[in-house]
Amino acid sequence: MLQVVQVEKYYKKNKAVDGISFEVKAGEIFGLIGANGAGKSTTISMIATILKPDRGDILFEGTSIIKKPSVIRKDLGYVPQEIALYTTLTGLDNLLFWGNAYHVPKEKLSLRIKEISDMIGFDEGILKQKVSTYSGGMKRRLNIGAALLHQPKLVVLDEPTVGIDIVARNQILDAILKLKEMGITVIYCGHYMEEVEKICDRICMLHNGKVIDICNKEELLTNKEINLENRYLQKIGQANL
């Protein structure tokens, strides 16, 4: 579905992404992990066409999104790390706003809002409350819901569980697994290893802007002596030699 080919990105002289390549297959949850500064956000910002690579290409269903960003935009749901909600508005008004921003046809929007609210566990009462009254976990769930209104084929989430409690975190992970059940492809960016291990089908490790490993769930399950965290630390050790 998505191919990242030899991509490089600089911020002035700082090479944030250093020739990375990986492929995301349709229907999978693809994890992108790495320490702070590894290049995760820069990579997904390029996939979301917010940033342009300096070198390399990114293909969505075979077409370059560098040359033609519109091919991915209508099929992409991007959930940024920062909450993109208007806190003085209600949850419902936020969904209406984002539905219009994503050009969801008016006649479809109420139904989509109902479907999304069910999925993120929001009833009518919650929807009518101002976002400023929501907990951190509720804001994160609504932030995800807003990115799903236009029925994207690919959803990219940038650290969606940062700063929330374990209950809210599990609700978000369940919502992500539901996306996969619905046939939606997910790129999940994070650094909580247990979460990534739990939900991702394949995992790509970034370190200093480079891919240091790509592994799948089966590999991790068959080799029980080494969990994702140990494997990651091992790979970082090798990369730093």
Q: Cβ 185 to ligand ATP, closest distance in Å?
A: 20
Nearer to ligand ATP, 36 or 70 (CB): 36
Cβ atoms of 144 and 172 closer than 8 Å: yes
Cβ atoms of 169 and 161 closer than 8 Å: yes
Q: How far is CA 118 from CA 121, 122, 126, 127, 141, in A?
A: 5, 6, 12, 11, 11
Collapsed DSSP state (helix, strand, coil) of residue 115 = helix
**Burial category of 3 from C-beta neighbours within 10 Å (exposed 0-12, middle 13-18, buried 19 and up):** middle
Nearer to ligand ATP, 42 or 90 (CB): 42
Q: Cβ 47 to ligand ATP, closest distance in Å?
A: 12
Nearest residue to 139 (alpha-carbon basis) of 115, 163, 156: 163
Q: Cβ 12 to ligand ATP, closest distance in Å?
A: 7
Nearest residue to 176 (alpha-carbon basis) of 161, 163, 165: 161
Nearer to ligand ATP, 43 or 117 (CB): 43
Nearer to ligand ATP, 42 or 49 (CB): 42
* H or E element at residue 17: strand 14-24
Cα 87 to the center of its chain, rounded Å: 22
Cβ atoms of 20 and 211 closer than 8 Å: yes
Q: Cβ 27 to ligand ATP, closest distance in Å?
A: 25
Q: Cβ 39 to ligand ATP, closest distance in Å?
A: 5
Q: Cβ 139 to ligand ATP, closest distance in Å?
A: 19
Nearest residue to 186 (alpha-carbon basis) of 154, 161, 159: 154
Q: Cβ 147 to ligand ATP, closest distance in Å?
A: 18
Nearer to ligand ATP, 95 or 199 (CB): 199
Nearer to ligand ATP, 36 or 240 (CB): 36
Binding site for ligand ATP (CB under 6 A): 11, 14, 16, 34, 36-42
Nearer to ligand ATP, 42 or 117 (CB): 42
Cα 241 to the center of its chain, rounded Å: 31
